[in-house]
Amino acid sequence: MSAKKPNLHAAYALESPEDHKRLYAEWAGDYDESFAALEDYQLHIHTARAFVAAGGQGPVLDVGAGTGLCGAVLAGLGVGPIDATDISPEMLAEAMRKDIYRDAIEADLNQGIPTPPDSYSGVVSSGTFTHGHLGPEALPALIRVARHGAQFALSINTRHYETMGFAEAFRQLENGQIENLKLYEVRIYGDLAAGPNKDDTAYIVLFEKG
């Protein structure tokens, strides 16, 4: 374990799955308090509410579930059952302590998700595509595990949407794989946030599997 405490700057600087696992292994225990509450993190709330407003329902896969922030909002809105997937077993352990998930699936999205095709009626992801270390190459893995007509709500940092190829990827997916694509821009952090990332925004990308 490093002497330097994990923080938002370190998260944005991640470059590999190994870096990700190392950082979040250290951060898992106090992530909700040292990051989410301290930075007035709001993205998981926007994502969950957008999913429900679009008619999303379970069973749902919470992708990059972390400690379960988005899943907790979904559960509070009456959505379930919910499964969690994340690259970090430590984060998944924290998520499962919230007693809102049916199952936890450890997975590197770049390698796919070890779940049968057509398993879910909904897929949500809050924060997974925010820091810039995971690009649109992960999208097919999410689509594979979703059923026909499944509702998606994915948050993607607006700074990365064009530059990392998300816009082009969605344009290609609209040719038969997804439909009803909509984008909503939201603030990632609330009014209490401070620091260089306090005004960052993300798109909530809504679509259905074709």
Res 27: pLDDT: 46
Measured between alpha carbons, how far is 140 from 123 in angstroms, rounded to an integer? 12
User: E strands of 24-114, at which residues?
Assistant: 60-63, 82-86, 103-106
Q: What is the pLDDT of residues 94-135, one digit of tens each?
A: 899 999 999 999 999 989 999 999 999 999 999 888 765 689
**In the numeric block, which tokens belong to residue 185?**
């821009």
In this structure, CATH architecture of domain 8-209: 3-Layer(aba) Sandwich (3.40)
Say whether pLDDT at 175 is over 60.
yes
Amino acid present at 111? Q
Its pTM stands at: 0.84
Number of helices (H), then strands (E), in the chain: 9, 7
DSSP per residue over 178-193, as a string? EEEEEEEEEESB-TT-
The rounded distance, in Å, linking the Cα atoms of 45 and 49 is 6
| CA 38 – CA 154 distance, rounded (Å) | 23
What pLDDT digit, counting tens, does each position of 30-87 carry? 444 445 555 678 999 999 999 999 999 999 999 999 889 999 999 999 999 999 999 8
Q: Do 185 and 203 contact (CB within 8 A), yes or no? A: yes
Percent over 70 (pLDDT), the chain: 80
Element housing 151 (H / E): strand 146-157
What is the end-to-end Cα distance of the chain in Å, rounded? 45
Q: For residue 104, which amino acid is it? A: A
Partners of 209 in the β-ladder: 178
Q: Are 208 and 150 in contact (CB under 8 A)?
A: yes
- 3-class DSSP state for residue 21? helix
Contact in structure between 72 and 100 (CB atoms under 8 Å) = yes
